[in-house]
Every structure is written in structure tokens, then in C-alpha cells.
Amino acid sequence: MAVWFARSRNLVSSLRHNLCLSTILVKGDYSHHRPIVSTCQLSPTVFLSPYVSSLRHESTAVEKQPDLVQHSDEEDVLQELDFPGGNVGCTSEMKFIPESSSRRIPCYRVLDEDGRIIPNSDYFPVSEKLAVRMYEQMATLQVMDHFFYEAQRQGRISFYITSLGEEAINIASAAALSPEDIVLPQYREPGVLLWRGFTPEEFANQCFGNKADTGKGRQMPVHYGSNRHNYLTISSPIATQLPQAAGVGYSLKMEKKNACAVTFIGDGGTSEGDFHAGLNFAAVMEAPVVFLCRNNGWAISTHTSEQFRSDGIVVKGQAYGIRSIRVDGNDALAVYSAVRSAREMAVTEQRPVLIEAMTYRVGHHSTSDDSAKYRAADEIQHWKTSRNPVNRFKKWVDDNGWWSEEDESELRSNTRKQLLQAIQAAEKCDKQPLKELFNDVYDVKPKNLEEQELGLKELVERQPQDYPPGFHV
């Protein structure tokens, strides 16, 4: 590529003068048949193309960044200026960096839509054992989502959020992490908790808010948390976990732990101020954090075209000094490899990394949403069927001879049974005792809460008909 730049230098400079183009940048192109000259910004990415595939494992390193503005003529760089922040060359040519590249950052993928590995792909090999476990968990997540969604429709739980269409992101990312990595989720990542060993019973307990719920029934369904599994409790406000992840990562760094913080966000969440805060802090503090953005196209009814004007999220990483990659979020092998690489970089280099996983939200935003109101039925159907990440990975696992239809039906029927039992048991389970309303506001109950608890107990005893039954004092 360096050679090709040299050859094109004169071409570019003459073009600039002849065509009076205000910005001419030379783009690296692996089909080195013709130079591409455009008025657009050079894409600063790792190109995993057939041309560089021979550098299979070296490609996980960052490619040396070509200049954003290509100075093909040395005489343009009149001098270096030493402003605070470092030396910067100056130019008398007034050039604006264009608002977008002519070509979007490409998406890293390993498996094609038919579940076949694309020749010469870079990826971490996945053993049969790991692959089968990954597939089983993706399928389990699907079944779990259907069961809990239906339970909400039947009025047995108040609310639910599915992760349909995002099973590869959920499971493959979890598989690529170590159990010591601290996870700060948004709310569409229960698969990470599932991978780490949270049981169907535990999921059900939280959704029912029963006595066995370790969250003690305080939050809406799907707001899981488990300190045993290093999965911080979910909160509804969007993106608040991002600066917290920077703090978590910094703590791990200071303790010299072989672990990083991993935090998830959707496309919508990247518009929040906390996204900016989180990335900037992680970069400045050089904290080992993997930021994983699930760009699924929709923030409730708001399509990404109404969310930002950038080329998605991946391009924002460099603005913070953060290494970034865009990955096909429906490709389990690509997600696995990208997350694994990112995690290694984060831990060994003590830096944040940004992953934008492209995907589609097949389900509604939540049980309070009917996405048919704002999206086309055939669009949903397309992503549910021909672009389904679970089927795609299944094909690959199948083709390797690691999975059969017997395995499939056995898994599905066992999982259904397990979930049915879990939901039934959770529903029958006792409610939380009333005292849990007043505990844990502080480490020790203050006087005002002691008084309020006494007052409420007396009230409930006097007028039990005003209150739902089963909450023992």
C-alpha cells in the first residue's frame, strides 16, 4: 500500500490543481487495478481483505493510520506549529474534513449467510465443544425469550424484553470473555448472564419478583443482576453504565487484574451524554474497557436515520482516541473473534476498545411496544428468517458434523420443559417479605424508615383488603 501511495502522489497533486478539488485524499484499495481518487475522507480502519489476509493474526493489530488529510506534496506543509496538545503541521490550503466518507466502514464477518466460512477470513478457531455450547445457548436464549414473552402476554409477569435477532451478540461476546471480566449491561444482553450460569429459575425469579429473587423484587422484570456472575444490576436509564464501566475498568487496572470491564449499549444509547462521558473517560484514564454497541437499527420506534448523521457508531471511536471495529453482529464467529481481540487489547494494552455490532432487533422493543406500528412486516420477517443469526451459526455447526436434528429437537424440548417448570415454580413461590421494602435503601435502616415501616405494618394489619396478599410482615 505504501508503494502505491508513492506512485499516486503526483497524480493526486496534478488532479488537485487541475480540478480545483478542495480535498483530495487517496484511499487504500485492495483491488489495485486503478487508483481511486475521491473527495472523501480516508477510512481509518483495519481492512481485512483478501489482499492482507496473509497477515491473518497480525491483522488484529491496528493498521498504521494513513493521514486523514493526505499531504502528497511536501511543499504544502509549511511548518510545524507547537500548540498545546502537540505539534501539528500547518497548511495554507483551506480544507474541510468531509462530513462523511464516500464509503462506509466495512463490516467484519467470517461466516456468510449460508453459514460457511468466507475463504481467507481472520478469526479465532472455535472448538467443537465451544461451538456446540454457543449454539445451545443461542437456541436456549431464543426459547427463553418466547416463553417469557408469552408469560407477559398471559398476564403472569408485568413486562419483558426479548433479545430476538441478537442471540449471536449475546452469546458469542460472552463466550469470548473471561468470567472475571465485569459486565455492565444495558438491558438486551441476558444471554451474557445465561452464558455465565444464571439459571432459568433465576431468570424467572427476577421476572416474578418472588422471595427467591436476589434482586428482592425491587425492579421491573429483566433488570437482572448477579454479583456471583460479575454482571452488574441493570437499570432502566440509558447509557448510565458507560462512565461507570470506565471507573470499573480503572479499578481493575489499579489492582492489576487480568480482567476488563465490558459494557453494552444500543444505537439509541450512543446519543446520550453518558456515551460521550464514558468513552472520553475510558480513553483519558487508559482504562481496560470494551464498549460494545448493538446497532440493531431501532431505538423503540426511532430508526438510526433519526438518531445520528454519522456512519453509525464505529467512526465515533477515533474521535475519542479509541480503537474501533464494526462487526457483523449476526455472525457468531465474527463477534467471538472481535470481542476476544478487543478484550485482549484492553487487558494487555490497558486501553478501551469500541465494537459496533451490526444487527437487527427482530422483536418489539418490549412487551409495551408494537413495532408493526412503525416498521414493515416484511422487513421484520426478512431478518427473522433469512438473516437469523441462530440459523446461520447452526448451519456452520451442522456442516462440521457437530450437531444433528436429534440434538436440535432434544435441546428444544428439554429447554421448553425447563422453562415451563421454572416459570411455574417462580409463579408459585412466596412473595418477598414486606420488610424488604425498607431494607437496603441505606446499609442500615435510618430512623425515618423504621418509623414508616412500623406505620405501614400497622396499616396493613388494620386494612389488609387495601393491599395485595402474600407479603408477610
Q: Per CB under 8 A, does 360 bind other proteins?
A: no
How many residues appear in the chain? 473
CB of 213 to other proteins, least distance (A): 7
- 370 three-class SS: coil
**CA atoms of 346 and 286, how far apart (whole Å):** 9
Comparing CB distances to other proteins, the nearer of 316 and 364 is: 316
The nearer residue to other proteins, 218 or 395, going by C-beta atoms, is: 218
Q: Let me know the angle formed at the C-alpha of 231 by 228 and 233, rounded to the nearest 5 degrees.
A: 105
Q: Is 276 in the site for other proteins (CB under 8 A)?
A: yes
Which of residues 13 and 235 has its CB atom nearest to other proteins in the complex? 235
Residue 85 exposed, middle or buried by CB count within 10 Å (0-12, 13-18, 19+): exposed
Which one from 22, 102, 158, 236 is the annotated catalytic residue? 236
User: At its nearest, how many Å lie between other proteins and the CB of residue 341?
Assistant: 24
Q: Between residues 289 and 390, which has the closer beta carbon with respect to other proteins?
A: 289
Near other proteins by CB under 8 A: residue from 167, 267, 274, 311: 274
Between the alpha carbon of residue 75 and those of residues 4, 14, 91, 144, the distances in Å are: 20, 14, 9, 64
Cβ atoms within 10 Å, residue 363: 22
Q: Which of residues 53-112 bind other proteins (CB under 8 A)?
A: none
CB of 429 to other proteins, least distance (A): 15
> Known catalytic residue: 365?
yes
Closest CB to other proteins among 77 and 319?
319
3-state secondary structure (DSSP) of residue 354: strand
Alpha carbon dihedral 248, 253, 259, 260, in 10-degree steps, equals 50
| By the rule CB under 8 A, 195 interacts with other proteins | no
Residue 273 CB-half CA count within 13 A: 0
156 CB burial (10 A radius; 0-12, 13-18, 19+)? middle
Of 189 and 213, the one with the shorter C-beta distance to other proteins is 213
C-alpha cell at 74: 511536501
Please measure the distance between the N-terminal and C-terminal CA atoms of the chain and give it in whole angstroms: 73
Subset of 229-258 contacting other proteins (CB under 8 A): 232-233, 235, 237, 240, 242-252, 254
Place of cell 441478537: 166
Question: Cα–Cα distance between 471 and 434 in angstroms, integer?
Answer: 5
Least distance from other proteins to the Cβ atom of residue 229, Å: 10
- Interface characters, 422-441, with other proteins (x: CB under 8 A): -----------------xxx
Q: Which residues lie across from 81 on neighbouring strands?
A: 88
Least Cβ distance, residue 350 to other proteins (angstroms):
12
Task: Assess whether 286 carries a catalytic annotation.
Answer: no
Selected from 190, 221, 225, 389, the binder of other proteins by CB under 8 A is 225
Site string (442-471) toward other proteins, x via CB under 8 A: xx--xxx-----------------------
In a 3-state reduction of DSSP, which class is residue 203?
helix
Q: Residue 265, SS3?
A: strand
The values of phi and psi at residue 80, to 5°, are -105, 140
Contact 296, 360 (CB under 8 A): yes
CB of 451 to other proteins, least distance (A): 9
Is 14 a catalytic site residue?
no
CB nearer to other proteins: give 168 or 242: 242
Catalytic (active site) residue 59:
no
| Smallest distance from other proteins to CB 70, Å | 31
DSSP H/E element including 138: helix 128-153
Task: Give the type of residue at 286.
Answer: E
Q: Give the shortest CB-195-to-other proteins separation in angstroms.
A: 19
The answer to whether 383 and 329 are in contact (CB under 8 A) is no
Binding string, residues 279-298; x marks residues near other proteins by CB under 8 A = -xx--xx-------------
Return the range that interacts with other proteins (CB under 8 A); candidates 122-130, 207-215, 382-390, 407-415: 207-215
Q: Which residue has the cell 480535498?
A: 23
Closest C-alpha to 438, from 237, 216, 209: 216
- Between residues 111 and 212, which has the closer beta carbon with respect to other proteins? 212
Question: Which residues would be at the binding site for other proteins (CB under 8 A)?
Answer: 182, 184, 213-216, 218-219, 223, 225-227, 232-233, 235, 237, 240, 242-252, 254, 261, 273-274, 276-278, 280-281, 284-285, 439-443, 446-448
Supply the residues annotated as catalytic. 150, 236, 365-366
